[in-house]
Chain A
């Protein structure tokens, strides 16, 4: 069977698009690793330290419910990470965690400032602090 030049071109076009798309998606993982290597470590600013969030075991229980509703889809039911990162042993301040929950991370995590008030955010932070 002999293919026309147009049919050959179609096969090449399909192969090129599959290879390009596959290559881009495969490159995502090493890119992620390189980007993580070159990212500066999270810092706690003096403003963060001044606005420290008060946590408590009572709040933590409430925060666990909020976590199950809004966070577990990405961070996993046990918060050990899924699409989002593992949230155990966070090495940043409570205020920094609260700020991240409120404002999200551009391109990575949605904002929750409209959904949760300060009290609910404090509950979430309390719960995250129990994750060791």
Chain B
């Protein structure tokens, strides 16, 4: 009939002559469409590229370290009288040096202009020992007569309006003016800030009979009722710990100070103490000796202090040149005459020979100076500190990241700096030599703590027993150091993804195979859109259902939930087996809907069995209480290991058994349906028993080797855990994997299906041997796209994962994913702060992960397409 059609389509020429030109409107429409699509495409590319550029531009400053933004040199008067302490105010306005005779040499930091400052009235006495709090505001002066004076050296800042500005001010620079004593800085809002340096000292207190040589001073407690503690070493090498308590008489406003002093156990004779350090709580005193050792005193009991530990901080032969705490008093920096700069942590070390079980542990070995370290100045913000060596090299360092941020160039020839001050905000350093020559640098150190090493590598944080991966971005105290390792977050993302896929991939793929190969197209036409509807469920809804409903249920029924993994497949297998027993005529007649219904009945029975047998499982395998068992308090890992081994050994038994039974099969010859069913049942029973025996044996062997499953994939139970996330996220991912995999399977040409069926293959054989291998790339791409979705999923993990940034594969513990972390912490991040940039880095990392996954998926999809095209 094709041939019959042919003459009708060929028109005789000449009757209607068709115009062979394309109309203008068609051409224009084509051109317009072409350009619209082209411009649209370019815009999409530009938009994506712009986002990347933006993210990168926010992230890059994390890795730029520090830089010098200005440098100048000037002279400071009075340095020949001996500097005690150099300080800079918060706003880099004034630098001030306290001298041994009590006078203060102040200068305008940015120009070096000398400023007048009120000296301390010491009545001719010369300070022999100086101690200060870590912020250098609280000072202690020790004298040759064995007295000390407590005091403060601080900057006062006051905001004033222009009309209160004194007349005749001298201009210092763009911002600052002075009346010779105070500096008036212009600040935004047409106001001025008046900055002064004020030094003040209390009345002398007699501490010792001999001259005070060394001192350290801390103030704790509240502003109203401070507890002031100080440690002193006098000429007789007596180490004393004192407490001064001041009471203000409410009526007379008179301050009465009472000092209590205790003497610490003496150091061995012949030891020269060169440094003394005290903690804010006055519970520990460190006395460093000139030859590089340290005596650590436990002074938790004020009346009965004891020597806790004697440790060597420097190599033999190197002299201790300075000993200092970093902010927070967890790190001790020891510096030596050969340039060594090491950071020590006081850590619990069981089995150490110290009296309190703690030891000073060398945690960070910093770059060595070329010469002995002369001066140190620590930051008030974070673990930054500046050191200066005898040749005048000034280095800015960061202890946690173990690096030298800046090696500052000297303004002039090499000289030893007598005083070094790092500005409170890490934005300026002034170094003053003994002859009064001073160099000042303005710095920009926005993110000293972040390097690729600290973000992705192990970092030894203060108070931690060893280097590790930690994310802890904020805490209550000022001295807290943010711990910004992305590793736990990346791990959390991968863990959530892994468990979600573990649940979703088998379900989704089996469902896809089922609908594409086994059911009537009409069923497929209903099931597929229904599954796609599942994808449109907002993940926030899934998240809170998981957190508020699923999590408590799973918590109450852990054993039953674990049973599900065993009972549901088994019940379906049993149903399939029972089906095989049916006479052929019945099984053919009821192959449609009744069979489908039977599946659900089997599922329901499986669930009932779980509920019924959960308790029994808990008794047999988990010693009666699964949570205590998971905590490791009761029971042994034997039962659970057996359960874990069971699938493996059964599989092995099945492989071996089926091979062994081939001759048996052949010997039996052709059999009736019922005989086949019985033989199969017997065979599988034998295999199952063999598997069980094998599992028991393997488990016993593993127990003998000391293996315990607790602490690995299972462990302490937390209500918001990965199992719940796996369920909820699996639910979100299943439709995606299902849809794409189903498309891939259905796209396999019909002629292959026909060829396979024509060879006498069953539906299942066709699906497994022909359809799935042919569609493999598409199915793999489906899994990858599902993985991409799981990696980026936010709300489910925020709500159901507990948000604990830990490195732990335990399925019963929580996790914190990159995306959830961004959602949770963004409200806390200060714009352009380190955390802010770190969150952008997490975003970039997330982007990179999903980019890689999607690219791999796309590459595989392309391969699939090429392969499919050749069919």
Asked if A and B bind, the verdict is no
Tell me the B residues contacting A by CB distance below 8 Å. Answer: none
Tell me the A residues contacting B by CB distance below 8 Å. Answer: none
